[in-house]
């Protein structure tokens, strides 16, 4: 039996209501490093049972939210679960009745306030099963932060009401019971029970008297003569809050099991009375009935269906509506002019530092340098998002002039990220490029940016290569694209190995595999024995000289293998010649050369930015002595320097075919190539072309294998 593992990414939550009692909860978090969340979900305890809900239903459903970057707080009421305080009631009915009357609203609001304070959450989805559903509705009614109600088995009838105790059955319940009788009517055991006075005759009478009356008189008769227009046990708080929320255009999902009496009551005591009014609310009120299911959805198939519906509702209703609403207050600027781009340095740098995308390849310096070198045939299409004049988002995109053939077959107009899309052999390899969005604002800002691009019909696809898959901006962009009905696909993945730097070089060495540790120590010892020196450029003159050494060493090695080398292209060379002085000025450059005697045997080109070292390029002279390893020595010196400087990471960037990176680094993170497109004929053709090309590649390889 294949089952999805329950998530592990969770944190303990404690909030306090006005009475001072601690409400315990667990916050299920989305994957990734983000701790600011614009939207969060609060699933409120169903009543007596703790915050996981019956058979851990909330944990299973929470996965649909966290997969979309929405953390889920599962909260215990005061006096229940692990929470503090004690309830005075002694009967279950009293407890349920008081939950239904809204006793715990203030605790839920306190938990929301805490999420807002700790995680910057400004918008909430709220709800749960049964008592959690009604509590969520009553909170949502008066709290403008709530952007969606998520309800399972919503109770609409007052618990313990006198009229309920009389045993009047709803029409839906009667119909369900009639079906049961029809199913059992032909069984001998049924009649044996009936004839030996073991049947529930009261129920049988309730169920069959209408049918008997019709059979005898030919007329339809209602037996609940005393029933007023409004069912006396209908919860007036529910009715008021339901309409109030719907009229505020806040989306609701009402999930019911078809065998749950709450559904029968919802249909017969509420929907039947307000059918016309409810019919006008179908855009915001979505009801889904899980066929065969009971109140708690106690079967894997029912849960799977509930999860699928939840996911679709989140994508199509909540996230889209909530983000669209939030985008209304944002100011958008499109930058197509180079001069304007060049003016943005200060704002850009400030925003980058406030984002989770803060990488050297997204600095204004890197991107403008790249633009100056590669701008031919390209147009800037940067979208900036501001709120009250403050920059909170930048999508550094460009558009290729002219039409390109996608997969060699389909004419395509492509939007792509700045610092990407260079011709083969001329690429700078700008890993970790991305959209830049202020922490915690990813959902609404990416929606606003995507809306802006969608207004233009002059592009067929948007390609974002080498974006980190666990980045909040990328996750928000994917969610926004899907919510807007766009196709969003991950085309390729590649890992970037990296070292989480310890506090000391010795500490790092201890964590290495024994053979690699031996190689490193031996190389350092032998280097010292030959009087080797490692020199790092500190002045523009040294940069110029060492760059020449780096290029010579690198190119000599690669051209000898018949390859172009990283500096063999005039564009690449132009980029680095322009960038290095800027990087030196900013204190980002680490250009080092290894000397054995007077001979340069290796050179390395690293960038240090925001506590992270990026290994960009190197050049070495392979040594006859197998223990004097320039490649090992360069990294050993640079990692030592990074540790001493208090850096937190040493990143080898994309692994490519360099297996050696894994002997240095235990951790890795994935970069993906993301493609977003309109669901058009063009997109279909692109898919067909991609398949044809893949197929052709396989056939070609087979032919080559056969004839070689």
Q: How far apart are CA 169 and CA 650, in angstroms?
A: 69
61 is a contact residue toward another protein (CB under 8 A)? no
10 is a contact residue toward another protein (CB under 8 A)? yes
299, 333, 338, 544: residue in contact with another protein (rule CB under 8 A): 299
As measured in angstroms, the least distance from the Cβ of 44 to another protein is 16
27 is a contact residue toward another protein (CB under 8 A)? no
As measured in angstroms, the least distance from the Cβ of 152 to another protein is 13
88 is a contact residue toward another protein (CB under 8 A)? yes
Neighbours of 169 (CB within 10 A): 18
32, 67, 82, 610: residue in contact with another protein (rule CB under 8 A): 82
Nearer to another protein, 9 or 372 (CB): 9
Angle, CA 418 vertex, CA 412 and CA 424 arms, to 5°: 65
Q: How far apart are CA 238 and CA 409, in angstroms?
A: 58
Q: How far apart are CA 559 and CA 242, in angstroms?
A: 72
101 is a contact residue toward another protein (CB under 8 A)? no
As measured in angstroms, the least distance from the Cβ of 298 to another protein is 4
- Which range, of 4-12, 240-248, 347-355, 698-706, touches another protein by CB under 8 A? 4-12
304 is a contact residue toward another protein (CB under 8 A)? no
Q: What is the CA radius of gyration of the chain?
A: 33
Angle, CA 325 vertex, CA 320 and CA 328 arms, to 5°: 125
21, 505, 558, 595: residue in contact with another protein (rule CB under 8 A): 21
As measured in angstroms, the least distance from the Cβ of 249 to another protein is 34
Give the tokens for residue 588.
């980002």
Which ranges constitute the DSSP H helices of 248-319?
261-266, 275-279, 300-313
Q: How far apart are CA 606 and CA 577, in angstroms?
A: 14
Q: How far apart are CA 644 and CA 78, in angstroms?
A: 50
Which ranges constitute the DSSP H helices of 497-652?
505-511, 514-529, 540-560, 570-586, 630-644
Give the tokens for residue 503.
């506090």
Site string for another protein, 252-271 (x = CB under 8 A): -------x------------
Interacting positions 162-221 with another protein (CB under 8 A): 176, 179-180, 183-184, 187
291 is a contact residue toward another protein (CB under 8 A)? no
CA 230 to chain centre: 45
As measured in angstroms, the least distance from the Cβ of 376 to another protein is 51
339 is a contact residue toward another protein (CB under 8 A)? no
- Which range, of 90-98, 451-459, 460-468, 628-636, touches another protein by CB under 8 A? 90-98
The position carrying tokens 């006005």 is 18
32, 54, 102, 421: residue in contact with another protein (rule CB under 8 A): 54
As measured in angstroms, the least distance from the Cβ of 296 to another protein is 6
As measured in angstroms, the least distance from the Cβ of 499 to another protein is 22
Nearer to another protein, 115 or 584 (CB): 115
Write phi, then psi, for 460 (nearest 5 degrees).
-100, -35
Nearer to another protein, 178 or 288 (CB): 178
Distances (CA, A) of 560 to 157, 243, 546, 604, 631: 82, 76, 21, 19, 18
What number of chain residues touch another protein (CB under 8 A)?
A: 54
667-677 and 382-387: which strand pairing? unpaired
Q: Are 262 and 46 in contact (CB under 8 A)?
A: no
Query: Sheet harboring 39-44: ordered strands across?
Result: 10-16, 22-28, 72-75, 39-44, 123-129, 146-152, 252-257, 285-290
Q: How far apart are CA 707 and CA 94, in angstroms?
A: 83
160 is a contact residue toward another protein (CB under 8 A)? no
Q: How far apart are CA 13 and CA 121, in angstroms?
A: 15
- Which range, of 75-83, 236-244, 365-373, 577-585, touches another protein by CB under 8 A? 75-83
Nearer to another protein, 28 or 416 (CB): 28
Q: How far apart are CA 132 and CA 128, in angstroms?
A: 4
94 is a contact residue toward another protein (CB under 8 A)? yes
Nearer to another protein, 93 or 337 (CB): 93
As measured in angstroms, the least distance from the Cβ of 59 to another protein is 8
Q: Are 592 and 546 in contact (CB under 8 A)?
A: yes
As measured in angstroms, the least distance from the Cβ of 21 to another protein is 7
Nearer to another protein, 73 or 633 (CB): 73
Residue 290 per-residue DSSP state? E
30, 81, 630, 631: residue in contact with another protein (rule CB under 8 A): 81
Contacting residues toward another protein, per CB under 8 A: 1, 3, 5-6, 8, 10, 12, 14, 19-21, 24, 26, 48-50, 52, 54-57, 59, 78-82, 84-95, 176, 179-180, 183-184, 187, 259, 292, 294, 296-300, 303
């Amino acid at each position: 039996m294949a089952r999805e593992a329950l998530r592990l990414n969770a944190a303990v939550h404690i909030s306090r209501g006005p009475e001072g009692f601690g409400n315990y909860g667990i916050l299920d978090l989305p994957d990734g490093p983000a701790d600011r969340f614009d939207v969060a979900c609060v699933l409120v305890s169903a009543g007596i049972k703790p915050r996981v809900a019956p058979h851990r239903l909330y944990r299973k459903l929470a996965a649909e939210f966290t997969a979309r970057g929405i953390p889920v707080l599962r909260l215990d009421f005061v006096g229940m679960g692990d929470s503090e305080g004690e309830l005075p009631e002694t009967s279950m009915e009293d407890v349920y009745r008081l939950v239904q009357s809204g006793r715990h609203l203030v605790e839920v609001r306190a938990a929301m306030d805490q999420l807002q304070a700790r995680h910057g959450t400004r918008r909430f989805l709220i709800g749960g099963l049964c008592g959690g559903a009604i509590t969520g509705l009553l909170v949502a009614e008066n709290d403008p932060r709530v952007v969606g109600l998520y309800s399972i088995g919503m109770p609409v009838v007052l618990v313990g009401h006198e009229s309920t105790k009389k045993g009047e059955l709803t029409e839906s319940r009667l119909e369900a019971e009639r079906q049961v009788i029809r199913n059992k009517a032909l069984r001998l055991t049924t009649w044996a029970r009936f004839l030996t006075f073991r049947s529930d005759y009261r129920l049988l009478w309730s169920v069959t008297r209408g049918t008997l009356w019709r059979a005898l008189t030919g007329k339809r008769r209602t037996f609940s003569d005393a029933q007023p227009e409004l069912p006396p046990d209908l919860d007036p708080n529910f009715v008021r809050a339901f309409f109030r929320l719907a009229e505020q255009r806040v989306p609701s999902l009402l999930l019911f099991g078809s065998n749950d009496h709450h559904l029968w009551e919802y249909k017969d005591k509420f929907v039947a009375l307000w059918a016309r009014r409810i019919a006008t609310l179908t855009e915001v009120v979505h009801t889904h009935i899980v066929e065969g299911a009971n109140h708690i959805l106690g079967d894997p198939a029912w849960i799977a269906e509930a999860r699928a519906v939840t996911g679709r509702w989140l994508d199509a209703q909540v996230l889209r509506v909530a983000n669209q609403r939030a985008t209304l207050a944002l100011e958008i600027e499109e930058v197509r002019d180079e001069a304007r781009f060049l003016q943005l340095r200060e704002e850009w740098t400030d925003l980058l530092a406030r984002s989770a995308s803060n990488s050297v390849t997204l600095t204004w310096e890197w991107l403008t340098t790249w633009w100056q070198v590669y701008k031919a045939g390209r147009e800037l299409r940067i979208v900036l998002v501001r709120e009250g004049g403050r920059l909170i988002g930048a999508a550094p995109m460009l558009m290729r002039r002219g039409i390109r053939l996608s997969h060699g077959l389909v004419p395509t107009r492509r939007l792509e990220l700045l610092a990407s899309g260079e011709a083969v052999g001329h690429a700078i390899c700008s890993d970790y490029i991305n959209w830049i969005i202020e922490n915690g604002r990813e959902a609404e800002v990416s929606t606003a940016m995507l809306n802006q691009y969608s207004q233009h019909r002059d592009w067929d696809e948007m390609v974002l290569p080498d974006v980190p898959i666990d980045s909040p901006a990328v996750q928000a962009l994917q969610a926004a694209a899907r919510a807007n009905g766009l196709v969003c696909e991950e085309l390729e993945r590649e890992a970037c190995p990296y070292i989480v730097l310890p506090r000391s070089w010795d500490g790092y060495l201890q964590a290495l595999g024994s053979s690699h540790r031996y190689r490193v120590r031996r190389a350092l010892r032998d280097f010292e024995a030959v009087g080797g020196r490692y020199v790092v450029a500190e002045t523009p003159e040294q940069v110029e000289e060492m760059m020449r050494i780096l290029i010579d060493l690198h190119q000599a090695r690669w051209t000898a293998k018949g390859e172009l080398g990283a500096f063999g292209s005039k564009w690449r060379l132009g980029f680095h010649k322009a960038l290095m002085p800027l990087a030196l000025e900013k204190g980002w450059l680490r250009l080092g050369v290894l000397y054995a005697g007077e001979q340069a045997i290796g050179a390395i080109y690293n960038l240090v930015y925001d506590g992270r070292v990026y290994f960009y390029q190197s050049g070495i002279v392979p040594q006859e002595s197998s223990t004097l390893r320039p490649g090992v020595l360069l990294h050993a010196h640079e990692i030592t320097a990074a540790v001493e400087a208090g850096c937190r990471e040493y990143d080898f960037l994309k692994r490519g075919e360099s297996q050696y990176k894994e002997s240095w680094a235990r951790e890795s993170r994935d970069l993906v190539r993301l493609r977003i497109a309109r669901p058009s004929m063009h997109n279909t053709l692109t898919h067909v072309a991609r398949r044809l090309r893949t197929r052709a590649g396989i056939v070609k390889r087979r032919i080559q294998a056969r004839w070689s």
